[in-house]
Structure formats: C-alpha cells, structure tokens
Amino acid sequence: MSSHYMHTFSRQQAEIGRAIDEIGAETGARIIGALAGALRTLLRWQRRDQDRRRLARMEPHLLADMGISREQAERLSAKMFWVA
C-alpha cells in the first residue's frame, strides 16, 4: 500500500475513534445490541424460509411420518418468511 493510502486509512481510523468517543460507550453498546438483534432476526427468517422450502419439496410419506398432510404442508410453506 502506498503511504498516501496508509495515511488516509490512519486518518479514517482516528475519525472513527473520535466519533465513538463522542457517542459514548453506552450509546455504542445500544447500537451494537440493536445490530445484533437485527442479525438474529434475519438469521431466524432465513432459517424459516429454508425450512418452508424443504417442507414444500417433501415426499408424501415423509409428511405422513411427521403427521402433516400435503394440504397443511402447502399452507405452511406458502407463508411469508416473517410470519411465524
């Protein structure tokens, strides 16, 4: 990396550090907590979407083993990923 880019990178790091100092540790922790919560929600939605896609492709005998009819599986797999 050239010295110009290293200097720019160092300056940006310093600006980020000052911004964090300004918002304070408590606010920073709240922001991080909110981001972590959002990530957990996105991962739950992704898992739910994958599960519903698998359910839609399941063979009838596997659905019967789980005690689910084809109609129930279709109804469940048609739900949007954010709906529990």
Each residue's pLDDT tens digit, 30-54: 888 899 999 999 999 999 999 999 9
Q: How far apart are CA 41 and CA 38, in angstroms?
A: 5
Provide the mean pLDDT of the chain.
88
What is the residue extent of each domain of the chain? 3-77
- Give the chain's count of helices (H) and strands (E): 3, 0
Residues in the chain: 84
In this model, does residue 66 exceed pLDDT 60? yes
Q: CB of 52 within 8 A of CB of 79? A: yes
- pTM higher than the cut 0.75: no
